Structure 1
C-alpha cells in the first residue's frame, strides 16, 4: 500500500510580553516597521524526499533540513523578501533534495534526496541538510535482512538546540526540539513515510513481488521564524485641516516626539463623529520624525466633526492611542461666486465706480479683469478679502469678476460686470495766441481740433465756455499759463499744451530804456532822472507810467507823454514844461502830483490872464502868488465875481487873474504859472448853465482840447467860443478900462484873431487866430442857448504840437478834416484899429444860421466892427454851404467911430480860396477890386454901413439889358414877375432849381423836356436869385437874376 505524507506550511504571529515572533511557512515578504532596526531570524531547510521504486528493490530515506539562527540589523520602512524551503515531493524514482530557507542574511539548506535501489541493490539515504547553527539528520540506506527488503528511514530536521537525529534503519530520525521527525521507510510494498515540518526527510518507498510503483516519502517543508521587539508609538496632538463637504476630505496632522513617531509609513485607525463611524483606516506618512499626516474621508456634513485616532500601526507593530488623539474638522459648504454689480459707462482715463459683490458663499480670494476678446482673466493684486472694488485708470472696456472660496472648497467665480469705456476727445490744439495790449489788456487763445459743439474748461480760472463748431476763441485772459480741456458731452479730454499769455512788457528807464523805445503796449517806469528831447521830437507813448521815489522827470516843450492808463508818482517829480502835454485815453485814476507849467506871453501888471487848472487840487493864489488878493475873478453867467484866492479852482471852470504886482504897466513880460497836483483825467462835469448866459469855461486837462469835439458834445452851447488876448493896453483912470474887442473867436467854420492892436499899444501882442485847439490851462467864453451841464471827456483831448496856443499855435493848423474853403479879411487903419472876419464854405454849414458855424460879432471893439451880413445878422464868422460856386455873393458891413481911411485886405485863405481870384465890390464907389492883386483902401465917415461891400469871386458886373441875362447860350428874362428860361440851341431843359441868396431852394421843376420854361408868380420878394439849369445832355449852367 502506498502512504502519502502531508506536509503542512503555515505562518503565525506570536506576541509574547513586548516581543513579537513571526513564523513563515511560505515564501513572502516582511515589512520592517518604523523604528525597528534589528531582529532574530531562524531558518529551517526543507527535508529531502525518500527514494521510490518501480521494481522489487528498496530505497534510501531523505535527509533532514538544516537550522540557522542569527540576530541581524535591518532598515526600518523597508521590505525583506524571504524564501521558505519547500519539502521535496516523493516520486517512484530517486528522491529530490529539500529547498533551502533564507531570510535576509540568514539561510538553512534542505536535506538531501534518498535514491532508488537498482539491479537488486538497495537505495542510498539522503545527506543531512546543513545550517549555520545545526544540521539535519541523515537518511538511512535501503537494506536486505534475512532475505527481506526494507527501505531506509529519513533523517530528522535540525532543531533549535541540537542537530537532527539520523534515521535508524527503517525508522525515521526522532524529532528534536524545534524540528520535525524524519519519515519511516516502507517495510512492505508501499510508499515511504512523509517527513514532519519543519525539515523532516521523507522515508524510502518499497516494491515487493512486483507489486505497485511506490513513491518515496515527501520531505517536510522548511520554516522561518523571526523575533523582534516592536517600538511603542505615541502622539502628543492632532490637528485637522478644514474640509469641504463636496469632497469630504481633511488632512489630519499628527505630532509627537521623534522617538515615538519615527519616520515611516503607518496605518492609522480612527473614528469619525459626523457622519458617525468607527474603525476607519488611513495611511499616514511620517517624513520628518515627530510629524505625520493622513487624510480623513467622508466629511460631507457641513459643520464640524471630530476625528479620534485609536491605533497607529507600522508593519506588524501597532500601538493603541488614547490621549491627545482628537482633531476637530470644520466642514464648509461649496463655494458660491455671487453677483458683481456696479458696471457703468465711463470715460477713458477714469476709474470705475465702486463694484460690489453680493450673494457669495465664502471669502473673496481675488478680483480679476478681462479685456476684449474677454477670453483671458488676469488677477488683480492685493484684492483678497474685498467685497467691493474700484478699478485703477481704465482706457478700454473692461469686465470684472470676483473669485470666491469657502474654506478649502474649490473656488467659484462670480458673475462679471462690464465697465464700458468711451474714448476721450482729443486735447484742444493751441493756435494763435493774441497777446495783451494796453488797449486790450487781456489775451486771446484760438483753439482747434475740438469735438463739434462741446464745452471748454480753462485752468486756471475754471471758466466754462460752450462753443459751436470745431474751433473756439477764449478771450479776456490775463497774464498766465493756461491749459484747456474739452468735453463732448460725455467725456473730457486730457489737458492741452500750455498756452502762455505774457503780461504787458515793463520798460524801465535808468540811464537808458531797458526794452528799447517805449511803445503803447509797454508800462514804463522812470527809475532814473529823465529829460525828453523837446521841440516835439521827444514824444513818449506808453500804456502806463510810474515815477519812482526821488526821480526827476521833465517833459520838454512841445513833447507829449501819451498814456492809455494811469500815471503814478511814487515820490518823484514829473514836470510838464510849457506847451508839453500829458494825454490819456482811458478814464484811469492817476496817483501822485505832477507839475504843469503854462506860460502866458506879454503880460503887464494890469492884464488879466484867463486860466483853468489841469490838476487837482490847485489854489488860485498858487497860480499867481504875487497878484493882489482882490484881483482873482470868476464869472457867474452875467457878471464878474471876485473870488477868494485861497480857494481851490473848480475843475472845468475858468478864472481870470491879473498880472503879478511886480510887473510893468506898460512893458509886457512872459509869466509862467506852475500847477501842482494830480493830473485831471477822464470824464469831468463842470458848470450847469442857463439859457442866454455867458460862461467862462476852462480846459480841465494837461493837454489841448479839441474845440469841435467839445462843441459836438455840449450842444446846448452856441457854436462860437471867445478867447481873451489882452492885446490892448489898459487905460488907467478913472479905474482900469479893458477893451472888450480883445476877444478872438472860433467856431466850426474857423477862428478870427484880434491883432494887430490899435495904435499906442505895446508891440508883440498876440496876433494869432484861434485854431480850435484849446491849450491846457486856458479858459474861454461860451454862450448857452439852452440849459445843461458842461461835460468834458478824454475824446476831446489831443496831444502833439497842439498844446501851444496859449495863443502861440501855427496859423496853418486846422481844427477839422472836413472839406472847407476859408478866407479871412482884415479891416484896419494906420492908427491900429483892427477887426477881422471869416467866411468859410464848409461841410455841415448852410446859408441859414447854424450856431456851430456862424458866430455873431461880439461888437466889443469901441472903434471898429467888421462883419458879414446874412439874415439880418452880423457875423464875425459865417459858414456857408457847399458846393462852392464862384457866383456866390457875401454882403459885408462895418461900424466905425473913426472917420478916415481904412483898408480891407486878405489876411489868409485856405482850401479852394487860397489860389483863386477874390473881389471886393464897393457899391458906393461902384468899384469891383481884386483883393489878390492889392489891398483896398477907402474913406469912410463914422457910422454903421451894413451893405456897402460885397465879397465876390468874379469881376462881372450886373449889367442889366432889358432885364435879361445871357450865359453860355442860356437865356433868362424877367418881365412882370414872369421868369422865362430858354435853353441853348439844339438842347432841351431837363431840371430847373431856383435858390435865394441864403442858398435856400425855393423852386424846383423836373422832367421838363422842352427848350423853354415860364415860371409865373414865384413866391419871392424883390431879391437876387440864382437859377441852376440842367439840360437833357446833363450840362449844368447857372444864372443870377434880380427878381
Structure 2
C-alpha cells in the first residue's frame, strides 16, 4: 500500500506540471481474482506497481468443473478529475475465450466509490472498488487454453463523457489452462479365483489422468486395512491372495484432484472339488485350486467322481460345504478337521464311517445332516450297550429298529436305576447316553465258538459341535450317565481337567460292555492312571490296548459312560476332540514305547464259574499315596467278586501311588459271594516291571510269597470280605513253605456243587473226620497226605457239620452249614 501511495504521489507530481489535455482519467486500475481458495490477488492493468502485471500473465492450470479455481472478485480503479468535471461511475469488463479465437461479449462489472482526496488541478483523486462479485470464471468451460481479456472505463461530465484504461485499445490479456477433470476409470480383469490358484491381472481403462498408485483392502468400502501398492501403470499383476480382496486405482490428471477408480472385487471362492481324475482327496488335479490346506474353505459340488478321505488321511480345512446331490465320505481310519462350520445342503450326503473322525475347532453352528457310523463290539442276544449320539435329532427307535421297544433305557440319577424310555417319541439327548439291548434276532451266547453280531450304529442329524454342558445331580451316590457328544474321539485327561470342579475326587469313567452274565461285573473303568477291564470273557479286557502314555487315551464316538459328580453340570468342549481311529469304545492313541515315568500292574481275580474282576496299581511321579483327582478310581462292585485296594476309606479299582519304591507294600482286599477256589494273576504290566522288577503276592494266611509275573495263585476261601489276607510286595523276604505256621485260618472248608472241599494251604492233611450235630461220625478218612481233600461220597443234606482235620499231628475244627 505504501508503494501504491508513493507511485500515486509521483504520478500526481508529474501530472501537475503538465498541461491538462484531459480533465479526467484512470491512472491505476486493478483486476482482482481469488485463485484456488487463496487470498485475493490484485493484478495491475495500467500501472507499474509491486503487484503482478495482468497483461501477459499465466493465471494457472485448473481443473474442469473446479468451483474454486479461478474466481473473479472484482476490481479497483484510481481516477483523477480536475475542477469542473464530475465522475459518476466506473466499470471493469472481461470476456473469456479459447486462446487464438477472440469471441464473445464482455461482462460489465460496476465498482463503487470508496474514497477521495484533493489534487493539484482543483479536483479530486478518487478510489472506486468492489471485490465481492465471486464469479466462477471456469463455470461452463471445458478443457483447453483460454484467454481472459480485460479493460476499464469511467463515466465523467467532461472529455466526451467516458475515459478508458484499455492498453491503447488492445486491452489487457492473461491466459490460463483448464485440464479435463480426473476420471478414475474402471478396472477389468479376473473377478474370482479358486482358493490356491490365484495369479492374474487387472487393467484400468476409461481413466482421465495418470495412475498415482493402486490400493487394496479386505473391506469393501476401504474403511480399514488399506494397502498402498507402488504401481503407476494401468495394469496390476496379482497373486497369493488368500481371501476376497477389493482393488482400486488412484488417478490424478494434472492439477486436478485425485480420484478413485471403480472398486474391483476379486472374490476368492472356496476350493471347489472337480473330481477331474478320481475320488482321491489328495490328488491336486481333483481340485480347482490344488489340494486344500487348513485355511481353505472347501466346496463339494455334484460331479462324476465324489471325494473320499481315505484311511490314514488327516485333512485340515477351514470349512466344508457339501452341495445338494454331492457326497463326501470319511473312510475308517481317516480324519477330517474343520476350523469352522460344516454345511450340508438338502440332498447332500456327508458320511463319517466307523473309526473315522470329524473334528471341529471353533464353537460355531453347523447346518444340515451328516451320517456318523459306529460299530458296536460283537453282541449276543440280551447284550446291552451304552450309546451316545454324535448328532442332534437322532430318534432312538430309528437308531436300533430291531430292539424291542421296552428295552431302551435312560438312567434316573435320583433313584440310581435304569428306567424304560419310549423310543419312538424320544431322541438322543446331547451329551447323555441310553442303554439299548441288542435285537432279539441275535444268537444267544453258548461258548467262545458262538459268533457275535457287530451292530452298525448309524446316527443321522446335525453334527454336535462346540461347548456342551450336561446337567448332573448329586442325588444318592451322584452317578450320572453321560456320553461323548461328538463325531470324534475325546481325550480322557482333557475331560478330567475340564471338570475338576464337578467330578468327584475318586471317580473314574465307568463303561458298560459285557455279555448278559451275572457272574461278571458290569463296568470297566478308566482314569488318567489306568484302564481296568470289566470281564475276561464277553467284555473288554484292555490287556493290549491301555499301555503307554495315558495322556493319549480317548473315549470313542458313540460311547456312553458313568461319572460320579459333586456339582450341577459337566462340560464337553472342542479342545477334548482327537483324531484317534480304533474299534473299541475306549482305547488309546498311538502308544509310546518308553514311558519311564509310569509303572503299572494289572491284577485279576477269577473264579471257577467265570467270575472276573480286575484292578490296577500305578506308580507315577505326578501322584501321591493319598487320593489324587483323575488318577485314582473308585471300584464299582456290582458282581459276585471284587478286588481292590483301600485309601482313606475308599475302595479303589485304580490306585495311583507315588514314584515306584521297591519297599512299597500295597494291601489288597477281595470279596466273594460264594465259597470256593479262586485265582489271582498278573494280567499285564509296564514301566519298571518291563525292566525286570519282580512282583509278588503275599498271602498273610499261609505265609506264601508268589511270583505272579511267572505264575498265578489259586486259593480257597469262604464267602465274605477279606481286607488283610493279601499284599502286593516287590521283594522276596517272606516265609517259605517250610516255615508255615498252622492256625485256624490256614485251613478252609467249603461246600460247592455237592462237594465238600478242605484246603490246608499246602500243609499236609493226615486225617479227616466229619460229625453231625448229634456227635455221630458221618465220614472218616485216614492216611491222606495231601493239602486239598475233596469229599464226594458224603450223603449231604441241610444241616450243621463239624469237621475235624488233622494236620501235622495237630487238630483243627471247622463248622460248616450245608
Task: Give the counterpart of 2:673 among 897, 901, 912.
Answer: 897
Deviations 1:444-463 (A, max 9, x none): xxxxxxxxxxxx99586344
Moved more, 670-679 or 522-531: 522-531
Q: Residue in 1 aligned with 2:429?
A: 650
- Give the SS at the match of 1:918: coil
Task: Give the counterpart of 2:494 among 709, 733, 751.
Answer: 709
Q: Is 1:699 matched with 2:508?
A: no
Q: Residue in 2 aligned with 1:1037?
A: none
| Structure 1: distance between partners of 2:594 and 2:320 | 31
Paired residues of 1:507 and 1:518 also in contact (CA < 8 A)? no
Q: Map 1:577-616; keep pairs closer than 5 Å.
A: 577-616=353-392
| Structure 1: distance between partners of 2:104 and 2:669 | 111
| Structure 1: distance between partners of 2:664 and 2:175 | 102
Paired residues of 1:566 and 1:588 also in contact (CA < 8 A)? no
Q: Residue in 2 aligned with 1:506?
A: 272
Q: Is 1:820 matched with 2:595?
A: no
CA pair 354-840 structure 1, distance change in 2 beyond 3 A: same
Deviations 1:730-750 (A, max 9, x none): 4xxxxxxx5671200011212
1:676 Cα deviation (Å)?
1.6
Task: Give the counterpart of 2:33 among 321, 340, 357.
Answer: 340
CA pair 754-783 structure 1, distance change in 2 beyond 3 A: same
- Give the SS at the match of 1:741: coil
CA pair 657-933 structure 1, distance change in 2 beyond 3 A: closer
Task: Give the counterpart of 1:356 among 71, 75, 92.
Answer: 71
Q: Residue in 1 aligned with 2:293?
A: 519
Q: Residue in 1 aligned with 2:652?
A: 875
Structure number with higher helix proportion: 2
Q: Residue in 2 aligned with 1:316?
A: none
Moved over 6 A (4+): 298-302, 332-335, 348-352, 378-386, 411-417, 491-501, 814-818
| Structure 1: distance between partners of 2:727 and 2:427 | 51
Gaps of 5+ in 2: 1-19, 40-60, 76-90, 108-134, 141-145, 154-163, 177-193, 197-214, 231-240, 280-285, 547-552, 736-818
Deviations 1:480-502 (A, max 9, x none): 1445989xxxx999989999795
Q: Is 1:729 matched with 2:501?
A: no
Deviations 1:423-455 (A, max 9, x none): xxxxxxxxxxxx999xxxxxxxxxxxxxxxxxx
CA pair 633-336 structure 1, distance change in 2 beyond 3 A: same
Q: Is 1:746 matched with 2:526?
A: yes
- Give the SS at the match of 1:711: helix
- Give the SS at the match of 2:402: coil
Deviations 1:379-434 (A, max 9, x none): 99999979434699xxxxxxx997632377227779999xxxxxxxxxxxxxxxxx
Q: Is 1:859 matched with 2:644?
A: no
Paired residues of 2:344 and 2:350 also in contact (CA < 8 A)? no
Q: Residue in 1 aligned with 2:687?
A: 911
| Structure 2: distance between partners of 1:632 and 1:569 | 32
Q: Is 1:561 matched with 2:336?
A: yes
What's the C-alpha RMSD, in Å, of the aligned pairs?
4.9
Paired residues of 1:920 and 1:949 also in contact (CA < 8 A)? no
Task: Give the counterpart of 2:540 among 750, 766, 780.
Answer: 766
Gaps of 5+ in 1: 1-297, 303-331, 369-377, 393-399, 418-434, 438-455, 731-737, 758-763, 959-1043
Moved more, 567-576 or 812-821: 812-821
Q: Residue in 1 aligned with 2:319?
A: 544
Paired residues of 1:821 and 1:842 also in contact (CA < 8 A)? yes
Deviations 1:800-855 (A, max 9, x none): 325x3235x46975899995332222222444222111122335422211231111
Q: Residue in 1 aligned with 2:569?
A: 789
Q: Residue in 1 aligned with 2:87?
A: none
Q: Residue in 2 aligned with 1:800?
A: 580
1:726 Cα deviation (Å)?
4.0
| Structure 1: distance between partners of 2:137 and 2:100 | 13
| Structure 2: distance between partners of 1:380 and 1:699 | 91
Deviations 1:232-257 (A, max 9, x none): xxxxxxxxxxxxxxxxxxxxxxxxxx
| Structure 1: distance between partners of 2:652 and 2:669 | 9
1:858 Cα deviation (Å)?
0.5
Task: Give the counterpart of 1:676 among 460, 482, 487.
Answer: 460
Q: Is 1:406 matched with 2:143?
A: no
Paired residues of 1:628 and 1:661 also in contact (CA < 8 A)? yes
Deviations 1:627-654 (A, max 9, x none): 2221111112122221111112211111
Q: TM-score, normalised by structure 2?
A: 0.58
Work out which structure has the larger RCO, using CA pairs closer than 8 Å and 6 or more positions apart in sequence.
2
Aligned length: 557
Q: Residue in 2 aligned with 1:64?
A: none
Paired residues of 1:829 and 1:903 also in contact (CA < 8 A)? yes
| Structure 2: distance between partners of 1:742 and 1:381 | 112
1:479 Cα deviation (Å)?
1.0
CA pair 887-414 structure 1, distance change in 2 beyond 3 A: farther
Paired residues of 1:457 and 1:464 also in contact (CA < 8 A)? no
CA pair 543-616 structure 1, distance change in 2 beyond 3 A: same
- Give the SS at the match of 1:875: strand
| Structure 2: distance between partners of 1:460 and 1:836 | 63
Task: Give the counterpart of 2:620 among 823, 842, 849.
Answer: 842
Q: Residue in 2 aligned with 1:634?
A: 410
| Structure 2: distance between partners of 1:477 and 1:352 | 44
| Structure 2: distance between partners of 1:495 and 1:615 | 51
